[in-house]
């Protein structure tokens, strides 16, 4: 049987109060003949096919929320567009003045762009984000480049205010389920990003030569087929997550796959009562709504199934 590279995306948000009458809020989407959309902690989320753009299920997928460190995926895309991986920068004091999570950037030490991307994506280093912004022309220039990149990708409801996803002078920033699907899809199409986000660990410069940094995406160990993701947290956004997984084919109908990914070992990302990701691995009826996603060029026989999960959780 011909297997298509497909993807699903889920966005969960329960830390932000949303006006029910907002004109840009989508109604629930549920394919005819499919299982009921599960109740649970998710207020806004989406399940969509990567290649066709087919919406499999969702709730308020165009409602904006603070993205926290999931916005670092957008920073990584800008860095990969503009920086040679072997290019270097000497960090200054301003680069290290960041609310942590931090990877351990030290003033006066030289770092390559690749090392900083490791620190950015594996441990969500805000100091790594600042130092990459240093390489890209400064904080304001980098934020402008990130927002321009989002617009180019079609993520028109996304607005970064800082390179790291921390609150900035312009507020907490914003993105939507739809936009994060678009951004993360573009990132996973970059082989360097895909390689880094799938790494269980990496070495990073330290006072003793090198230190081991460990990927904070616990879904890599907990979910069958997980191939990478990005965690995040701010007081405004609460716990956030975006990730991907691949399988050689869809499981039979009724095959259950609970998704319980701990944010730094504490709480479920989706929760036991809400498993929208599983919907993406079920056969779905044709003729459903579509996202503004262009077909991928690498779709072909034998390609694995892929899903994206984007989650906001209080």
* Residue bearing the bigger pLDDT, 156 or 17: 156
52 pLDDT tier (thresholds 50, 70, 90): low
- Active-site residue, from 124, 157, 172, 175: 124
pTM, whole model, 2 decimals? 0.77
Please, are residues 66 and 111 in contact by the beta-carbon 8 Å criterion?
no
52 part of the active site? no
d(CA 97, CA 88) in angstroms, rounded, equals 20
| pLDDT attached to residue 13 | 30
Domains in the chain with CATH codes: 1-65+260-281 (no CATH), 68-214 (3.40.710.10)
Q: Is 230 annotated as a binding residue?
A: yes
Q: Is 69 a catalytic residue?
A: yes
Burial class (CB in 10 A: 0-12, 13-18, 19+), 14: buried
264 has pLDDT over 50 = no
**Across 128-150, average pLDDT:** 98
Q: Is 91 left (phi over 0), alpha (psi -120 to 50) or beta?
A: beta
pLDDT class for 232, splitting at 50, 70, 90?
Answer: confident
Which residues are 313's β-sheet partners?
239
pLDDT at residue number 293: 36
Query: Structure tokens of 191?
Result: 């082989």
Catalytic residue among 72, 145, 149, 239: 72
Q: Are 181 and 310 in contact (CB under 8 A)?
A: yes
The mean pLDDT of the chain is 72
Task: Please compute the mean of the pLDDT values over residues 246-254 and round it to a whole number.
Answer: 45
In this prediction, residue 220 carries a pLDDT of: 84
273-286 mean pLDDT: 45
For the question of residue 145 being annotated catalytic, the response is no
């Amino acid at each position: 049987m011909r297997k298509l590279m497909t993807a699903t995306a889920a966005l969960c948000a329960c830390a932000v109060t949303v006006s029910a009458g907002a004109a840009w809020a989508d109604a629930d989407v549920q394919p005819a003949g499919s299982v009921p959309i599960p109740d649970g902690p998710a207020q806004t989320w989406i399940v969509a096919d990567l290649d066709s753009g087919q919406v499999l299920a969702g709730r308020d997928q165009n409602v904006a929320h603070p993205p926290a460190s999931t916005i670092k995926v957008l920073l990584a895309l800008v860095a990969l567009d503009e920086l040679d991986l072997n290019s270097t920068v000497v960090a200054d004091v301003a680069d290290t003045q960041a609310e942590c999570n931090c990877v351990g950037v030290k003033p006066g030490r030289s770092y390559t762009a690749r090392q900083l991307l490791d620190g950015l994506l594996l441990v969500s280093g805000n100091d790594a984000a600042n130092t990459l912004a240093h390489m890209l022309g400064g904080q304001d220039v980098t934020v402008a480049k990130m927002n321009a990149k989002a617009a180019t990708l079609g993520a028109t409801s996304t607005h970064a205010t800082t390179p790291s996803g921390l609150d900035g002078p312009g507020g907490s920033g914003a993105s939507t389920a739809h936009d994060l699907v678009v951004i993360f899809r573009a990132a996973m199409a970059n082989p360097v990003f895909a390689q880094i986000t799938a790494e269980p660990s990496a070495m990073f410069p330290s006072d003793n030569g090198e230190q081991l940094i460990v990927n904070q995406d616990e879904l890599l160990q907990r979910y069958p087929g997980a191939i990478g993701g990005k965690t995040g947290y701010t007081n405004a956004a609460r716990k956030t997550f975006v990730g991907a997984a691949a399988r050689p084919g869809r499981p039979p109908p009724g095959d259950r796959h609970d998704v319980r990914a701990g944010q730094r070992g504490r709480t479920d990302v989706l929760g036991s009562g809400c498993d929208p990701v599983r919907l993406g691995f079920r056969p779905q009826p044709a003729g459903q709504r579509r996202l503004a996603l262009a077909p991928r060029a690498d779709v072909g026989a034998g390609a694995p199934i892929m899903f994206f999960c984007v989650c906001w959780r209080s």
